Structure 1
Amino acid sequence: MFLHDALTRALVRYLTAELPTYQRRVPNDLDHLRAELRPGDVVLVEGMSRISRMIMMLTQSSWSHAGMYIGDALLRWGGPHADEALERFGPEAFHLLLESDMADGVQAKPVAWYGDYNLRVCRPTGLATEDLEQVVAEMLRHLGLRYDQRNIFDLGRYLTPFNLLPARWRRRPLYLGSSTSREVICSALIARAFYQVGFPVHPLVSQGEGERARSVIARHPSYIMPRDFDLSANFEVLKINLAPTRGRASEDARPLKA
């Protein structure tokens, strides 16, 4: 058991180590981002770590990570997690993202934590206020939940060249671990919260015949990756994180839709 835990910790350190070749594309305006974000918004992140590179390569996407903006909902929720956030982050605790991290599990971080990353904001459209509150509450109920160790080893095997893996390990990329462990992955956790109020992130369209022609089927949250929020018809992409370009008129610096 000790050896297994030691190997798990070593693998987590290796996968989450940041790489030096990160390229910032545009500067973020954190004040504008804090002012414009709403609870329930999904913030996509282009990560800096080895596992981030793996996810982006396997999903053919610019986004490796997703967090949900909850604002000050944790402070209003109360409890030891709220006290810890306020002590650790001070005023930034009023502008929190809830996310799932391989090393620390489901946790809250301030928006400013990702100020030096490439970001995209995806906002659910047409979701009733009471449903949105239920989505945020569902996310808060998972606070403190940790990654399943089997999921970590499943991720680690994708560091091995594909042709060296036994045939039984050649599964669909990133469909990993048990159903429980998959739902602690950042994007799947968020998708599950929306799924429970009947708001699928990425519905599939069935190409059937007759009455079943083009029927919509909700994809299970376990299959949702960060890029699915970017591509979803149920989410609006907003450019509210970008710093205004010098010389633009003030009205041009308003939030832009992609």
Structure 2
Amino acid sequence: MGLALGWLGERLARFLSRSTHVHGIGPATRPDRLLASLQPGDVLLVEGNSRVSTAIKYLTQSTWSHAALYVGTHLASAGGDSGHCFIEADIVDGVRSVGMDEFAGAHTRICRPVGLTELDCRRLTAFAISRLGNQYDLRNVIDLARYLLPTPPVPLRFRRRLLALGSGDPTRAICSTLIAQAFQSIRYPILPITDTRNADRPDCPGCIEEILRVRHHSLFAPRDFDVSPYFQIIKPGIELGFDHRTLRWDDTPLVETSSVS
């Protein structure tokens, strides 16, 4: 049964990884500008154009269907490909390193963790780099494939948990869980479960303190890095300097057409 599921999962992975048309509302950031804005530890969210991206975007109600961790030159220092600077979990190839060309033409967003030290960044990237070669959780692919129907009968409250229906094998990963595990390894919060309790302080009997509990890594989706209060959104067009006075406008009047009934 395991071999049969593995064979089916691999076939589905190749089918679901095929590209489909995605209508964009604006131009994608140029790769050189994107690269100039990145720092090790940044999470790059991607609006994918594959069939499996459709399922992930539906289940998470988000634009973002893929996430990659920018490790910069840390990969080359660890003996990896000097032309690569990202670690990602690919549906076909598993956990791999890729270069900036992999995301050329795609709509992206940079999410930057706040307050990391150089040691934190090295521990974070080392965790991801050590997972190179691990396989994608193909059972998760089978689960996602069931929700590619035009109107899947999935109540909103259950959609997130559908992303966690994979095997749970620690040697396997999907894109967002791999990165979530990396941040949890250095105890950096993404969307922790928060409990409040009375602070045991004689000088402040009414004070409330927050206690964080780790959310299971299999329940994270790419959008969580976008909405997390602990990640800063970096926009290359602003980060590299923006002056609206330098913009060139075409003042040719637009001719609107209307139909006459």
Q: Which TM-score tier does this pair reach, normalised by the shorter chain?
A: 0.7 to 0.9
The answer to whether the Cα contact below 8 Å between 1:151 and 1:176 also exists between their aligned partners in 2 is: yes
**Aligned partners of 1:10 and 1:68: how far apart in 2?**
27
**1:139 has 2:140 as partner:** no
Q: Which residue of 2 aligns with 1:128?
A: 117
Name the structure with the higher helix share: 1
**Residue 169 of structure 2 aligns to a residue in which SS?**
helix
Q: Which residue of 1 aligns with 2:38?
A: 37
The answer to whether the Cα contact below 8 Å between 2:135 and 2:171 also exists between their aligned partners in 1 is: no
Between the two proteins, the alignment pairs up a number of residues equal to: 234
How far off is 1:194 after superposition?
0.8
The answer to whether the Cα contact below 8 Å between 2:30 and 2:105 also exists between their aligned partners in 1 is: no
How far off is 1:99 after superposition?
0.3
**1:219 has 2:215 as partner:** yes
Where do 5+ consecutive residues of structure 2 fail to align? 200-207, 247-261
The answer to whether the Cα contact below 8 Å between 2:163 and 2:218 also exists between their aligned partners in 1 is: no
How far off is 1:148 after superposition?
3.0
TM-score scaled by structure 2? 0.78
Q: Which residue of 2 aligns with 1:15?
A: 16
Q: Does the C-alpha gap of structure 1 residues 181 and 56 become closer, same or farther in structure 2, counting only changes over 3 Å?
A: farther
Structure showing greater radius of gyration is 2
**Aligned partners of 2:217 and 2:152: how far apart in 1?**
26
How far off is 1:20 after superposition?
2.0
Aligned pair partner of 2:235 in 232, 235, 239 = 239
**Residue 234 of structure 2 aligns to a residue in which SS?**
strand
The answer to whether the Cα contact below 8 Å between 1:175 and 1:182 also exists between their aligned partners in 2 is: no
Identity fraction in percent = 37
Q: Does the C-alpha gap of structure 1 residues 134 and 245 become closer, same or farther in structure 2, counting only changes over 3 Å?
A: closer
Q: Which residue of 1 aligns with 2:202?
A: none
User: Structure 2: which amino acid aligns with 1:41?
Assistant: D
How far off is 1:49 after superposition?
0.7
**Aligned partners of 1:226 and 1:182: how far apart in 2?**
20
Superposed CA RMSD in Å reads: 3.1
Equivalent positions of 1:166-245 (< 5 A) are: 172-180=161-169, 184-206=173-195, 210-211=198-199, 214-240=210-236
- For residues 56-102 of structure 1, the C-alpha deviation after alignment (integer angstroms, 9 at most, x for no partner) is 11101110000001112221111xxx2xx35xxxxxx1x51110011
- For residues 97-132 of structure 1, the C-alpha deviation after alignment (integer angstroms, 9 at most, x for no partner) is 110011010011112321200100001101222111
How far off is 1:213 after superposition?
6.7
How far off is 1:134 after superposition?
0.2
The answer to whether the Cα contact below 8 Å between 1:147 and 1:184 also exists between their aligned partners in 2 is: yes
**Aligned partners of 2:230 and 2:162: how far apart in 1?**
25
**Aligned partners of 1:170 and 1:72: how far apart in 2?**
37
User: Structure 1: which amino acid aligns with 2:110?
Assistant: V
**1:64 has 2:65 as partner:** yes
**Aligned partners of 1:186 and 1:245: how far apart in 2?**
31
**Residue 136 of structure 2 aligns to a residue in which SS?**
coil
The answer to whether the Cα contact below 8 Å between 2:110 and 2:234 also exists between their aligned partners in 1 is: yes
Q: Does the C-alpha gap of structure 1 residues 178 and 10 become closer, same or farther in structure 2, counting only changes over 3 Å?
A: closer
**Aligned partners of 2:136 and 2:110: how far apart in 1?**
25
Q: Does the C-alpha gap of structure 1 residues 245 and 184 become closer, same or farther in structure 2, counting only changes over 3 Å?
A: same
**Residue 87 of structure 2 aligns to a residue in which SS?**
strand
Q: Does the C-alpha gap of structure 1 residues 224 and 8 become closer, same or farther in structure 2, counting only changes over 3 Å?
A: closer
**Residue 13 of structure 1 aligns to a residue in which SS?**
helix
